[in-house]
Amino acid sequence: MPNLFSDQNLVRPGVIYEDGFGHPCLCLGVDEGVAWGVSLIDGSYPRSTDVHLGGIRELNLEEVMNWKSKSEEWRRRNYEDSILEP
């Protein structure tokens, strides 16, 4: 299970995170509590999430590769399950 960021100071450029929509991203910056980056799946940019409201999570490269190899249905189900866990 990825770690939730509880402090915007922990999110910094170079960190891989899952944004509020369950999308793996590479952080390129944090401005006024909003992390923004680029998708590691489809290259969409910018992907922005409020650190405090969005509940973004840190990911490792293995989790990103697993995410990319799964179907859209698996990703949707996995994301919904992960946000329901305490």
The pTM of the full predicted model, rounded to 2 decimals, is: 0.71
Give the chain's length: 86
Rounded Cα distance between 50 and 64, Å, is 21
3-class secondary-structure state, position 65: helix
Query: Per-residue pLDDT tens for 22-69?
Result: 788 999 998 888 889 999 888 888 898 888 776 678 888 888 888 777
Identify the pLDDT of residue 67. Answer: 76
Architecture of domain 3-84: Roll (2.30)
pLDDT of amino acid 38: 94
Residue pair 14/61 in contact by the 8 Å Cβ criterion:
no
Greater model confidence, 3 or 11: 11
**Residue 85: is its pLDDT beyond 50?**
no
